[in-house]
Amino acid sequence: MKTTSICSPCPGPPRGALVTQADDDQLAIRTDGNWKSVTLDGEQSDSPLTALLFDKQGNLWIGRMGYGLTRATGFGIFETFTRRDGLASDVIWQMAHQPAGPLWIDTDTGISALDTRTNTVVRTIGEAGLHIAIDRRGILWQSGPEGVSLHDTQSTWRRDLAIKRVNQILIGNGDDIWLLSDHGAWLADAGRRDQDPVPVQGLTGSYVRGQIDTTGTLWLLQRQQLVVRHPDGTTTVVMPRWPLATFAPYVIDQQDDHRLWIGGQGGVYRLTHDGDRIDDVTFYDAATVGNAILYSLMVDHKGRVWAGSDRGLNVFDGSRWITITEADGLATNDLDQDSLLEDTDRSLWIGTSRGLSHLLQPEALLANISLQPVITAMELGQNPYHGEPIAFSHAPMRVMFGTLDYRDAPRIRFRYQLEGVDESWVETTEGSVRYPSVPPGTHRFMLVAFDPDRHQQSAVVTATITMAYPWWERWPVLCLAAACVLLAGYMAWRVRVGLLIKQRQKLQTIVERQTREIRAAHQALIEQSRLDSLTGLLNRGAIQSLLQSALAELPAGTPLMAGLIDVDHFKQINDGWGHLIGDEVLAGLGSRLRQAMTKGDAAGRYGGEEFLVVLTGERAAATHMEALCRFLNGLPIPTGVPDLVVTVSAGVAMASANETWQSLIARADKALYRAKAEGRDRVVLAP
């Protein structure tokens, strides 16, 4: 039996609808006298269907000639759209719904307009955009590498704006359109599309994302800060820093006029506020949410929080977080940035790297189904066993089990324990366990089913195994055996006393040699744990510890400089050439950094595409850091992409007296941001 995602698009049939086979790779659904065809996905799509069945949970089971039985994942809950359905690409960036019009879908090769009534693509704009939005007058706003473009959705009218590096196009409460970029915010009037947007006074920073509430207040993520712009134009920094120092905010959405959700690297924050005053801060870490880095965030009409990452979709229903993955019918676990949209019919559109998923019934997907594990059979050797007392046997014991929940079966795991055999609970995804033999006595086999994505666990189900003791384990035989053992032991002791004396020196020599080998292996492991496996440089913990030690131990007056080096446009390298090329770039830069280090210098990978360099003594100067960056930029990186030249930006800071490593890194980090803001490919010295 297999489980697969089967159709594209594949809406579930209403109650009373007729479902049958059309062609080898299609299902036909008849509702209210009308027929609709859906296409099956999967490796067996060219195999004829022989049977269709809906179980009590609404799962669709399909019999295929030559392939057996298949369960359709997400049938009736998800539908998926791909290039086969007319989209410009399977890699979905963003979606925007035009009022009384189609759903506009931004992909990595173009923008497609999907008529959601007929599930057909009615228009394609052959130009990729990073962000899109639809204003209240039906104009499509698109930002890309070359700037911002406006498209009339009813004609071929178009206008281009020379505003680059726009991170979000934010539709206001009226005709106001906010363009949030790396170099400030711009304000446009949707009613005057022929006029250029104007820079917003007081908003000249780098803004990742923003949100406008019903009062017209603009909430902005500015680097590591949360900034508020009031309707009167004044601004306030309401969160200058986050309780989790390593948290990096990427996305923001509002639940109501007093609650904001902010996600990013490290987890999710929920802020309760009254204007500028933050009343409560609640943090959900990566372990609680289910993902460490969140790229998308949306609060639906019921106040549920949806967060997307490259490991699936996480949902908070007010009391717990659950995870939705491919096992539920999602096209793939790899979601893209800002790729969540709630439609007017309360369904949910989800952009992934393998197509557009449409969650038709969020409530049906989020509904809990009680886990019901069952022990289906037991076998002793080749014979079935039903729990009755049996004579002793060395034959293996096999216990088979499963669950009656077919919907969540791909996610469900089991824990089992055989008393007297297993020391603790054992976790498995398999449906059986085999014991080479079972000791005599009465043992209880215990089984629990649990769903890690939904944080559910079933009650314990048990089965009893009773096996008689063999004749050689009865008391008379055991007493005789004990006497023989004592006698043999005495004789052996007399012989071994002499042998032990002779072997003592030999054993001591062996122990000393093995001790040396263990110490050498331990030292090698210590060295290995300090290095980053990709670049060969010190890892974050090691370089951070080295910097801390250097600040504490260097003689007074010895210069010390810390530099943070970041690869320019590294995301574009990953997106354009693939993560393997990105890894080769990091490895190449690591190799050059190792070549450039001299005695007293140190370099390590600080995180992602960021490196930390520590220079002391005469080399602790901005000129040396600039020369180092020129060396890194000087030659193409040897990768699978010929002549790929990478540039870096650096922020450096000289250590002052009694400075901590945290403040030194913070100063270098601010200088790095300045280097990026000033155009990258440069070194900026912190004041």
Query: What digits encode the pLDDT tens for the residues 94-106?
Result: 999 998 899 999 9
pTM of the predicted structure, to 2 decimals: 0.62
**Residue 480 has which token pair?**
């005789």
What residues contact 491, with CB distance under 8 A and at least 6 apart? none
* Buried-exposed string 43-67: b where 16+ CB fall within 10 A, e elsewhere: ebeebebeeeeeeeeebbbbebeee
Closest of 375, 447, 416 to residue 384, by C-alpha = 375
pLDDT digit string, tens, across residues 529-569: 789 888 889 999 898 999 898 888 888 878 999 999 999 98
> How many Å separate Cα 382 from the centre of its chain?
45
Strands 648-654 and 683-685, by their bridges, are: parallel
pLDDT at 5: 46
DSSP string over 544-588: HHHHHHHHHHSPTT--EEEEEEEETTHHHHHHHH-HHHHHHHHHH
Q: Tell me which DSSP letter residue 148 carries.
A: E
Task: List Cα–Cα distances, 550 to 308, 561, 661, in angstroms.
Answer: 41, 10, 9
Q: Is residue 648's pLDDT more than 50?
A: yes
Task: List Cα–Cα distances, 24 to 43, 192, 408, 578, 655, in angstroms.
Answer: 12, 53, 27, 35, 71
Q: Write down the residue that tokens 């989800």 correspond to.
A: 350
Q: Which of 57-71, 370-384, 624-638 has the lowest mean pLDDT?
A: 57-71
What residues contact 482, with CB distance under 8 A and at least 6 apart? none
Q: Is residue 402's pLDDT more than 60?
A: yes
pLDDT at 238: 94
With vertex at residue 330, the alpha carbon angle to CA 114 and CA 47, rounded to the nearest 5 degrees, is 90
DSSP string over 31-96: ETTEEEEEEBPSTTTTSPEEEEEE-TT--EEEEETTTEEEEETTTTTEEEE-GGGT-S-S-EEEEE
Helical (H) or strand (E) element with 508: helix 475-529
Give the confidence band of 307 by pLDDT, cuts at 50, 70, 90.
very high
Give me the mean pLDDT over the 234-240 stretch. Answer: 94
Q: Torsion angle of alpha carbons 316, 322, 326, 332, nearest 10°? A: 40
Closest of 482, 505, 651 to residue 566, by C-alpha = 651
**C-beta neighbour count of 513 within 10 angstroms:** 10
Q: Which residue has the higher pLDDT, 64 or 35?
A: 64
Strands 235-239 and 683-685, by their bridges, are: unpaired
Give the confidence band of 521 by pLDDT, cuts at 50, 70, 90.
low
> How many Å separate Cα 662 from the centre of its chain?
28
